[in-house]
Chains A and B, each alone.
Chain A
């Protein structure tokens, strides 16, 4: 049964042998990439490790295919002749796949985003989980998996929140007109100074920004490490609110004074 010819002199045994060889080579590739991941775990960035491991897997697959082609009596020169026609057919049939693949290769080498970056791609805000050859996957902050074709990633607008090591955020804080704005600013400066992750340099700024209809508006600008800015933003805003209130400096409600043209007479 194993000697049964399947096509042009290729027996079932040779087909099975080819599958086995391909499997062994792919498994060796996987083992090498797994070992590489273990070895480089603490020594290189996650992005570099994942890219290297993918390259090893693809190279193993390519070698496997090259090795089994002669066993399967597939003539490479025949491929070259038929290649042109096949390429045109495949080109038309899989235009978007090829386009995604090429975009994927450019993404891996140009690296506008990396694994674990916080990004906004095409309105999808989240953490980059993987950059594959055809698509990029993102885990949004509410835990949803989003797969974006690489062509869209490459040609679209990417906002990478971790590309720079630090970023600035700001608050607008309104206080009552009767409150001491100097004291309020001093309190805010002390709280920023106390917070370990609010950066010393670039220096934070606190100043009177506007004399509004109901309040004196203070502007507070703080630089923070890009990885932690949101946590700091939440923590500091609450601390500022509580500490200002403890010092009898309050955020006023919107106020409007109404004056009557004629005073109403009081009834006795």
Chain B
């Protein structure tokens, strides 16, 4: 499903159907997923359509730029210890038309069920997109249309044992890579203590040759937001 498609095209996956057809008035985009039907008329000489994963922060509305991944089981980490784990994240799929900067998708949809949560307290905390993930020591097998994988390097830089139950990420730093088999990101979580840790994405893919996804949350447009997430509301 991911990649560049020529107009006209028809894409079907599970209960998703995308039909893009051209007539004398322009291009008609028609997407059905479940009960939701989206139909748009595209004006322009575009000949291609790019379908790729985007930051999972846009649906049902762009309410936040933070993604909270809660671990199924808490992770207890020894001081000074580093560990590479794999967690999953929800995938949202963007449809871009060719030509121009292609920085604004014409449509975004997801096969998953979005959910939000609060990280921290109501005064200083943040609303985050919520996702529950298993902790995996090897790369799990997931459907790239539904879930992506974060290659997460956790390091406890503090002097005490810590129990980690979640990681919060900033969408403005996300670098998402994809191919037909996998949607992935690479990130690190540096823990100082129970009340302070940082998460940050790597700009490199964890498997060479994967394509960089289009970014909806462009960091250069929001320099004040930074690309890290400082977790001061507990881990």
Q: Tell me the A residues contacting B by CB distance below 8 Å.
A: 42-44, 163-167, 194, 196-197, 199-202, 223, 225, 227-228
**Would you give the shortest CB distance from A200 to chain B, in whole angstroms?**
4
Closest B residue to A203 using CB positions: B117
**Would you give the shortest CB distance from B190 to chain A, in whole angstroms?**
23
Which of A42, A166, A194, A227 is close to B125, meaning CB atoms less than 8 Å apart? Answer: A166
Closest B residue to A45 using CB positions: B224
User: When the two chains form their complex, are residues A196 and B115 in contact, meaning their CB atoms are under 8 A apart?
Assistant: yes
A-B contact sample (5 more), CB < 8 A, given A164-B122, A194-B113, A223-B118: A165-B127, A166-B127, A199-B118, A200-B116, A201-B130
User: When the two chains form their complex, are residues A200 and B130 in contact, meaning their CB atoms are under 8 A apart?
Assistant: yes
Q: Tell me the B residues contacting A by CB distance below 8 Å.
A: 59-61, 63, 113-119, 122-123, 125-127, 130, 221-224
User: When the two chains form their complex, are residues A197 and B116 in contact, meaning their CB atoms are under 8 A apart?
Assistant: yes
Contact A202 to B118, CB < 8 A, known contacts A42-B222, A43-B224, A165-B127: yes
Residues of B contacting A223 with CB < 8 Å?
118
Closest B residue to A41 using CB positions: B221
Residues of B contacting A43 with CB < 8 Å?
221-224
Residues of B contacting A227 with CB < 8 Å?
63
Residues of A contacting B222 with CB < 8 Å?
42-43
Interface of chain A, main secondary structure: loop
A167 to B125, CA, bound (A): 12
A200 to B68, CA, bound (A): 11
Residues of A contacting B117 with CB < 8 Å?
199-201
Q: Interface centre among B122, B123, B126, by most A CB within 10 Å? A: B122
A199 to B63, CA, bound (A): 12
A227 to B114, CA, bound (A): 17
User: When the two chains form their complex, are residues B224 and A225 in contact, meaning their CB atoms are under 8 A apart?
Assistant: no
**Would you give the shortest CB distance from A130 to chain B, in whole angstroms?**
23
Which of A163, A194, A225 is close to B127, meaning CB atoms less than 8 Å apart? Answer: A225
Residues of A contacting B118 with CB < 8 Å?
165-166, 199, 201-202, 223
A-B contact pairs, 16 of them (CB 8 A): A43-B223, A44-B224, A164-B122, A164-B123, A165-B126, A165-B127, A166-B122, A196-B59, A196-B60, A196-B113, A197-B60, A199-B118, A199-B127, A200-B116, A225-B127, A228-B63
A181 to B125, CA, bound (A): 35
Contact A225 to B116, CB < 8 A, known contacts A42-B221, A43-B222, A43-B224: yes
**Would you give the shortest CB distance from B234 to chain A, in whole angstroms?**
11
The 10 tightest CB contacts between A and B, nearest first, are A200-B117, A164-B122, A196-B114, A201-B117, A42-B221, A200-B130, A166-B118, A225-B127, A166-B122, A196-B60
A228 to B115, CA, bound (A): 14
User: When the two chains form their complex, are residues A165 and B122 in contact, meaning their CB atoms are under 8 A apart?
Assistant: yes
Closest B residue to A195 using CB positions: B115
A200 to B119, CA, bound (A): 10
A166 to B128, CA, bound (A): 11
A197 to B60, CA, bound (A): 8
A227 to B62, CA, bound (A): 12
Residues of B contacting A165 with CB < 8 Å?
118, 122-123, 125-127
A167 to B127, CA, bound (A): 11
A201 to B125, CA, bound (A): 12
